[in-house]
Structure 1
Amino acid sequence: MDNHKSQIVGIHSHLEMGSLEERAVLEFEDESLFSPDSASRKTHSREGPLVLAPSPASETSGTKCMSNSIFNSIKVVVFSTKINLLVPFGPAAILVDKFTNNHGWVFFLSLLGIIPLAERLGYATEQLALFTGPTVGGLLNATFGNATELIISVYALKNGMIRVVQQSLLGSILSNMLLVLGCAFFSGGMVFSKKEQVFSKAAAGVNSGLLLMAVMGLLFPAVLHFTHTELHFGSSELALSRFSSCIMLVAYAAYLVFQLKSQKNLYVPVDEGGDQTEGDEDEAPEISKWESIIWLTILTLWISVLSEYLVNAIEGASVAWKMPIAFISVILLPIVGNAAEHASAIIFAMKDKLDISLGVAIGSSTQISMFGIPFCVVVGWIMGRPMDLNFQLFETATLFMTVIVVAFMLQEGTSNYFKGIMLIFCYLIVAASFFVHIDPTSIVDKPSKH
């Protein structure tokens, strides 16, 4: 009996020794996968050089990993927001243009189709900016933040529709400063009705100064033209516009350096405390750097395609809807490019992050006035189009009054729902003014002779 037990114990110990040896071998092999020294020892212990060939299993897993990455990227960019339900309206606009001649429907469907693309373009820019740092991120936001308006403007310039370019860029500034900022002030004031929301007066003051500089650049060519005091009629205001545009672009570049490098402390939100670290931790990229670049390329190309249909249908839509082109350009077109900014500014204001709302609304207006408009003048110069800063007296006076009103609203560094109501009402007055305004330089806007 004792012999039998000893045999059993010997068998068990032998099995345990064998399992320990197998485990040690497995641990050694696993260690060699992660330790360069152990891997080199294992390689030299064998006869001849070791050639590691990729196994079919590793190739399959790599392909599967890549497909999962693509699927996740599409899931995040395409299916993560409900506004992408408007994407099919873009192809619908192309089909309507191919099979019918209804410019009103083509224009309307193109407008709806561009809205989600503009929002996703802003998202992809933000994701890429997380990899590039604040300086390059600021340049990316300056370039792609208003990319939709710039793409539409370039196509309109290509078609010689200079007034559409001027009025759409002007409308984008007015929309951001009055409608977007007004809705942000109103919604934030209603949520926090028992306290006064505050924001950085320093950042608001710098942006107000840049907007007044842009007004100066637009005012002098218009006054020269209106008073007929140019040295050479027509050519002097064009030369002045191109010179002023170059100055404004340099000033905007200096503003970026000032904001991102020299005086970063001026742009720290007034209520920022311990929340900064939480915000930084939450700012984790959802897609990779190369995925962001690929999505930026795809979205820009698709916006370019729809912009061509949109621009070509503007005059037909004006006739079909019996609306002045000035109203379509100043009021309707900017709603497309500012839809995402409008929503984000309201959301941040309702979270009591008014500095971000101000950066979205006033910062976007500063980008367009100091970068977008001069950029279009330079592009028109390259194309041989006489794009200038003479926005006509009516449009220039509207911009001047808007900048003055907003500057007075921002000088205290506080906001409430009543200021929001005032800005929204100002925008309604501007919209009504352009609805009854006949652009003297537009043939289509002139009343038909009976």
Structure 2
Amino acid sequence: MDSDNRYNNDDNKSRNNDASTIKINSHVEMGSTQSKSVFEFEDQSLVGPEKHSLDEAPLRALYSGGANDCCPHVLKNSVADSIRTVVFSAKINLLMPFGPLAIVVDKLTGHHGWVFLLSLLGIIPLAERLGYATEQLACYTGPTVGGLLNATFGNATELIISIYALKRSMIRVVQQSLLGSILSNMLLVLGCAFFAGGLVHSKTEQVFNKGTAGVNSGLLLMAVMGLLFPAVLHSTRTELHYGKSELSLSRFTSCIMLVAYASFLFFQLRSQHNLYIPVNQAEDQTEENSDEEEAPEITKWESIIWLSILTAWISVLSEYLVNAIEGASVAMGIPVAFISVILLPIVGNAAEHAGAVMFAMKDKLDITLGVAIGSSTQISMFGIPFCVVVGWCMGCPMDLDFQLFETATLFITVLVVAFMLQEGTSNYFKGLMLILCYIIVAASFFVHRDPKAIQDKPQNPKQ
């Protein structure tokens, strides 16, 4: 009997222990389920398209003690992170203080040589950061629109400088700086990209889409034709009304070129977008990996705000830069043509230069061509005609008469690049040839004497 009672007591204890264990386990499971649901909810918010979305602020406030205390903190952290990412993440931003220093030097001393150099150095990091902000915005718009945005904002520096030069009737500075931008993109930027990509991928020959290169080459030849006829008409003295016919022809041709560029955009974005599919189809297989590697670092609205800030600051420095060009030419003994064709475009193309080389080293030559050749196409088919139309509205006789020397230089450059691209392949030797061609062009403009000397108030028969 004692053994039976003992056995029953042990059995009851075990049942009670099992029941308590079940209760404890049920509480643990319920707690884990609740915590799991909370963490899963937070994880879903973290993998969303925007990490700092305003929709998440009330949800995070539930766990941090109230929405009123959380929202300012989140927004403050977001602004601080954005400034840290854009301003303090690149070593080239060490040149940013030269911009305010140029303004101080201009106000205190008025030394044009120093103002020009400091403004030039101050614009370099701004142009590079402008390209960075454009790339971040392109992550939200897709590759085709992103390439167009890269080319557009990549050329914003040159267009801003050109507009300020037009206000001062410095037509030759506008013509030569835009010409230099085309030459720099086609020879220096593309050459450095081919050279760097060829060295990194020396065992295999890099390939790109020949269709894209062919369309851009055709547009560049059309731009050369638009610039060639006014120059030949002026040089041969065969114009119907001296000083007026070439101006009228330039304005008419500019309108035609703008229509052609708009048609090209429609062709690229809507009609024949399949033509612009990259040749390297292996990228499609690793699309998810590439998306993770190229995830945007700032949000869409932060990119737009930074684009506005950088463009405004570049506009301020461009005014000081343009005002100091002639004085810097005298102070440093450098021809204005060399400053306009070589120095200004190198600064303006800083973003394209860095981006094109980086993409070539990653074996993404189609993007490299979109940045370098696409930028040249946009300057020749949009930038130059746009400045002619803007000058027309301002009463400034901006025309397409780029003089025979400069037009011939552009024509030969387009032919050289077109022959380099016709095979659809690249290597470091082709890049080296393009770089050497640019050195020849730079030396030519260093010894070139501009027949239309730039003055503060140029006397032009077309006025």
TM superposition score normalised by structure 1 = 0.85
Query: Shift of the alpha carbon at 1:127?
Result: 1.9
The match for 2:127 among 118, 122, 137 is 118
The CA distance in 2 between the partners of 1:187 and 1:142, in whole Å, is 21
Structure 2 letter corresponding to 1:247: I
In 2, the alpha carbon distance for the partners of 1:282 and 1:263 equals 29
Pair 1:286–1:379, CA change in 2 (3 A): same
- Look up the SS of the partner of 1:365 in the other structure: helix
Please tell me whether residue 78 in structure 1 is matched to residue 87 in structure 2. Answer: yes
Residue by residue over 1:227-264, the C-alpha shift from the partner in whole angstroms, topping out at 9 and shown as x without a partner, is 11112112111111111111111111211221222222
TM-score (norm 2): 0.83
| Structure 1 residue 260 corresponds to structure 2 residue 300 | no
The number of residue pairs the alignment matches comes to: 412
Q: More deviation in 76-85 or 348-357?
A: 348-357
User: Does structure 1 residue 396 correspond to structure 2 residue 407?
Assistant: yes
**Does the CA-based 8 Å contact 1:221-1:390 persist in structure 2?**
yes
Shift of 1:328: 0.3
Deviation, 1:283, is 3.6
Q: Take 1:227 and 1:164, find their aligned partners in 2: how far apart are those partners? A: 24
More deviation, 413-422/274-283: 274-283
Q: Distance in 1 between matches of 2:141 and 2:242?
A: 47
Q: What stretches of structure 1 move > 6 A for 4+ residues in a row?
A: none
- Correspondence for 1:357: 368
- More moved, 156-165 vs 246-255: 246-255
Q: 1:280 aligns with which of 291, 313, 318?
A: 291
Determine the structure 2 residue equivalent to 1:377.
Answer: 388
Find the aligned partners of 1:134 and 1:412 in 2 and give their Cα distance: 24
Q: Do the aligned partners of residues 137 and 416 (structure 1) sit closer, same or farther apart at CA in structure 2, a change above 3 Å counting?
A: closer
Partner of 1:50: none
CA–CA distance in structure 2, aligned partners of residues 142 and 179 of structure 1:
16
Give the residue type in structure 2 aligned to 1:397: A
In angstroms, what is the RMSD of aligned CA positions?
2.8
Secondary structure of 2:329 counterpart: helix
Identity fraction in percent: 77
User: Corresponding residue for 1:66?
Assistant: 75
**Does residue 1:208 correspond to 2:233, yes or no?**
no
CA 1:209/1:133 → structure 2, altered by over 3 Å: closer, same or farther?
same
Partners in 2 of 1:97 and 1:80 — Cα distance?
Answer: 29
One of 345, 359, 363 as aligned partner of 1:334: 345
In structure 2, what is the Cα distance between the partners aligned to 1:272 and 1:260?
20
Q: How far is the alpha carbon of 1:139 from its aligned partner? A: 4.9
Task: Give structure 1 stretches of 5+ with no counterpart.
Answer: 35-53, 446-450
In structure 1, what is the Cα distance between the partners aligned to 2:288 and 2:330? 54
Work out which of the residue numbers 182, 196, 209 in structure 2 matches 1:173: 182
Is structure 2 residue 337 aligned with structure 1 residue 322? no
In structure 2, distance between residues paired with 1:342 and 1:77: 19
Going from structure 1 to structure 2, the CA distance change for 1:266 and 1:136 (only over 3 Å counts) comes to: closer
Tell me how far 1:116 sits from its aligned partner.
Answer: 0.8
| AA in 2 matched with 1:309 | Y
Cα-to-partner distance string for 1:189-227 (whole Å, 9 max, x where unaligned): 222223222111111111100100000110011111111
Q: Please report how far the alpha carbon of residue 89 of structure 1 lies from its aligned counterpart in structure 2 after TM superposition.
A: 0.7
Q: What amino acid is aligned across from residue 71 of structure 1 in structure 2?
A: A
**Do the aligned residues in 1 keep the contact of 2:226 with 2:253 (CA within 8 Å)?**
yes
The worse-fitting range, judged by mean Cα deviation, of 318-327 and 285-294 is: 285-294
Counterpart for residue 45 of structure 1: none
Which residues of 2 match residues 136-215 of structure 1 at below 5 A? 136-137=145-146, 139-215=148-224
Inter-partner Cα distance in structure 1 for 2:143 and 2:363:
23
One of 280, 296, 302 as aligned partner of 1:291: 302
Match for residue 244 of structure 1 among 246, 253, 257: 253
Structure 2 unaligned residues grouped into runs of 5+? 1-8, 42-60, 457-463
1:368 correspondence with 2:383: no
Q: Which residue of 1 aligns with 2:228?
A: 219
Contact 1:376–1:387 (CA under 8 A) maintained in structure 2: yes
Letter in 1 for 2:197: G
Counterpart CA distance in 2 for 1:321 and 1:285 is: 43
- 1:293 aligned counterpart, secondary structure: helix
1-side partners of 2:448 and 2:73: how far apart? 60
Contact kept, 8 Å, 2:127 with 2:154, in 1: the verdict is no
Partner deviation per Cα, 1:108-149 (whole Å, 9 max, x = no partner): 111110011111111212222333445654553343221001
Amino acid at match of 1:82: K
Deviations 1:265-320 (Å, cap 9, x if unpaired)?
22122122223443234343221222111111110110000000000000000001
Asked whether the 8 Å contact 2:152–2:375 carries over to 1, the reply is: no
Instruction: Choose 276-285 or 326-335, whichever is displaced more.
Output: 276-285
In 2: Cα distance, 1:150 partner to 1:406 partner: 24
Structure 1's 174 and 412: CA in aligned 2 closer, same or farther, altered over 3 A? same
1:343 maps to 354
Residues 22-101 of structure 1 mapped to structure 2, 5 A cutoff: 57-101=66-110
Question: Are the equivalent residues in 1 in contact too, given 2:180–2:340 (CA < 8 A)?
Answer: yes
Query: Is residue 147–residue 371 contact of structure 2 (8 Å, CA) maintained in 1?
Result: no
Deviation at 1:353, TM superposition (A): 1.9
For residues 302-313 of structure 1, the aligned pairs below 5 Å read 302-313=313-324
The corresponding residue for 1:406 is 417
The 8 Å contact of residues 134 and 260 in structure 1, kept in 2 or not, is answered as no
- The residue number in structure 2 matching 1:420 is 431
d(CA) in 2 for partners of 1:192, 1:401: 29
Counterpart CA distance in 2 for 1:352 and 1:134 is: 16
The separation in 2 between residues aligned to 1:135 and 1:285, in whole angstroms, is 17
- Aligned partners of 2:193, 2:400: CA distance in 1, in Å? 30
CA distance in 2, matches of 1:267, 1:120: 27
Q: Which deviations, in whole Å up to 9, do the C-alpha atoms of 1:10-38 show, x marking residues without a partner?
A: xxx9xx99x97xx99xx7xx99xx9xxxx
Moved more, 306-315 or 419-428: 419-428
1:331-384 deviation digits (Å, cap 9, x = unpaired) = 000010112221222222222222222222111111111111111111111111
Confirm or deny: 8 A CA contact 1:327 1:434 kept in the other structure. Answer: yes
Deviation at 1:329, TM superposition (A): 0.2
